[in-house]
A and B are shown apart, each in its own frame.
Chain A
Amino acid sequence: MKEIVNKPWDYIFYEKEGNYFLKIIVGSVAIFEVNIKLNASELSLFKKNGLDYIENLAKNIQNSPSKYANRTIK
């Protein structure tokens, strides 16, 4: 596993065996983690826009974690 970005209490963006993952800290009085594998369209947007895209994706997930909860991998 290779960490690309590690923002404490925010998110960790990392690469593992050629796949990209985003681990985001979400929640308010109850904190939890959403860990997703970037899908094809997210991957292409990352390649096009770089880490700015990841920053925005992390914000989207923090704002609407329920939309991404079913993609969480353990």
Chain B
Amino acid sequence: MKISVKCHLLILFCFYFNPFIQSAYPKSAFGDFKTKHLYSFKSFSFQKDSSDFLLNAFKKGHSKDKIISIPKGHRPLPSNYLKRKYIRRHLRIFKSGASFLIPEDILGKFGRTILGRNDGQFVMCKKEMDDLISNSNGEITFIEIELGIPSGLWNNIELIRIDIPKPKRLHIRMPSGNEIGANELWIPGGKLPNGFSESVIDPIPQGQYSETKIKKK
């Protein structure tokens, strides 16, 4: 019985990771498989090349590099260059909630009545944030590295996790790259360079979010 299960797994592995077989099937099927299943198998093992996550995302004639080359402020709407199906799938993963991280002193400075910039607040999907926090084991440096924060900037601060259970109410959308929060690391398609999913929502009024202090080691 055990041998049979092992053989089955081996066949499955060879099937999905054999480049010859992959070329005979639509790439999206494998892109989705990798994104969904590798992600859940290993819980937290992101591929570093974001292009893997953007397989079949772009409409004909568009690419990640073309969009990045357009200066911030002039980038087109994502619906102009991303496939509708891709956008729909992307936004679906935020159904279970959205989250972002912020130092407590910034919250204190600007108040808690409404959070985020007028042109939109970037958020991650709740599941990915859960995995990130769980895998950090309270090591803030781990979170800094994963989210591209300059090293040591979050030392000696209280870090707060903001959760928005119903981001759809706040007009959740694919980032355009024109938002104030979009920096030189931004890539089109709602992905961070290491594969985390990101979206943008309107400023978040009190009552539509919850705060949790990140426990440090």
A residues sitting closer than 8 Å to B (CB atoms) are 8-10, 12, 25-33, 59, 62-66, 69-70, 72
Contact = CB atoms under 8 A, between A and B. Distances in A.
Counting chain B residues whose Cβ lies within 8 A of the other chain, the interface size class is 35 or more
B183 A10 contact: no
Interface in B119-145: 122-124, 143
**B interface, over-half SS:** loop
6 contacts: A10-B180, A29-B196, A31-B106, A31-B181, A32-B153, A63-B184
A29 B100 contact: yes
B101 A30 contact: yes
Ranked nearest first, the 5 interchain pairs of A and B with the lowest CB-CB distance are A28-B122, A69-B150, A30-B147, A31-B102, A28-B181
Contact of A32 (B99, B103, B111, B192): B103
B41 interface: no
Main secondary structure of the interface of A (DSSP, over half): mixed
Nearest to A63: B183
B116 interface: yes
A27 B149 contact: yes
A72 B196 CA distance: 27
Contacts of B105: 33
Given A9-B116, A63-B183, A69-B153, A29 B106 contact: no
B106 A25 contact: yes
A27 B118 CA distance: 15
Nearest to A64: B184
B154 interface: yes
